[in-house]
Amino acid sequence: MSISALIIDDEKLAREELRYLLDSVGGVEIVGQGANGIEAVALIEELHPDLVFLDVQMPGLDGFAVIRKLTERAPSADARPLPQIVFATAYDQYAVRAFDVNAVDYLLKPFDRNRVLEAVQRARGRIAGGGAATAAGPGVVADAPIESQLEALLRLLKHPNEAERSPQPAKVVVLAQNRLLLVNQADICFAAIEEGVIRIVTHTFEGQSKCRTLEELLEQLDPAHFWRAHRGFVVNIDHIREVVPWFKSSYQLRMNDKAQTEIPVSRTQTKRLRELFNL
């Protein structure tokens, strides 16, 4: 079953990357693209897609404001159901947890093909089930319509204390030389994943995280200091020694670890890099 979809993101490179990944996944017809929230509302009203990939951080009308406008539509017997929503976010870790609680899917930038495939499969299952959720988190009624899920998400974002969040630990467990070390987050220069193993690098030693994915590791780290600059790397912003211009308007980060490791910045994260350092 092919499903129709919109891609809404203010970054052209992010739209192109997501379209490429959706084409590789298959079974999704991209019926339109938009660069801001105003275009998102207009395209949804005009094209009635099954699924919308919606960027959270956009100038003017952001992703949350788009959801508010969609849920404010007057209900009627002949009204079309709202599309399934997959949020995209570069660094808002709290929003990611809120989406999990409310059974609304998300993609973390830079996009990962397996996560895109998983999001499409979830959306396909909900569409086949008439728009009901396939799973429910705390505070969400199973089989609730998408409108109720989105309204619950907005309430949660408006009242952060309602979120069932655990405080982030001050230290991270790192396996090094058959010892489990408790490492201060501030001492971590960067983390990298290769063949499913996450390597954590500090000034004085390297070790392995017991986390399975970088997303799982990011849940333990302070989002004010740690940033996923590339699909395979999470960096501590305080340990970036130099921003190195690269080819085709891209950049690399030279870290201040012993090896002065150079880490690529993905195309979709270039905007965030410029925001961080006013480039």
Per-residue pLDDT of the chain (279 residues; tens, 9 = 90+): 789 999 999 989 899 999 999 999 999 999 999 999 999 999 999 999 999 999 888 877 888 788 778 777 645 545 677 888 888 877 665 555 555 544 457 888 888 899 999 999 988 988 887 654 433 333 333 345 555 556 655 555 555 444 444 555 688 999 998 899 999 999 999 999 998 899 999 999 999 998 989 988 988 898 889 999 999 999 999 999 999 988 777 899 999 999 999 999 988 888 888 888 877
Whether residues 146 and 242 fall in one domain: no
- What pLDDT was estimated at residue 103? 41
Whether residues 33 and 154 fall in one domain: yes
Q: Using the 3D structure, point to which of 162, 186, 202 is the last residue of a domain.
A: 162
- What pLDDT was estimated at residue 61? 82
Whether residues 202 and 256 fall in one domain: yes
Instruction: Give the range of the structural domain holding residue 27, as residue numbers without chain letter.
Output: 3-162
Cis status, amide bond into 110, omega within 30 of 0: yes
Whether residues 22 and 121 fall in one domain: yes
Whether residues 11 and 144 fall in one domain: yes
Whether residues 126 and 194 fall in one domain: no
For residues 60-96, one letter each, b for 16 or more C-beta atoms within 10 angstroms of the residue's C-beta and e for the rest, the string is ebbbbebbebbbeeeeeeeeeebbbbbbbbbbbbebb
Whether residues 65 and 151 fall in one domain: yes
- What pLDDT was estimated at residue 104? 59
Does this model's pTM top 0.95? My answer is no
CA–CA separation, 100 and 57 (whole Å): 18
Total domains in the chain come to 2
Whether residues 21 and 125 fall in one domain: yes
We report the CATH number of the domain holding residue 219 as 2.40.50.1020
Q: Using the 3D structure, point to which of 116, 145, 162 is the last residue of a domain.
A: 162
Whether residues 64 and 157 fall in one domain: yes
Whether residues 105 and 239 fall in one domain: no
Contact 102, 156 (CB under 8 A): yes
- What pLDDT was estimated at residue 82? 80
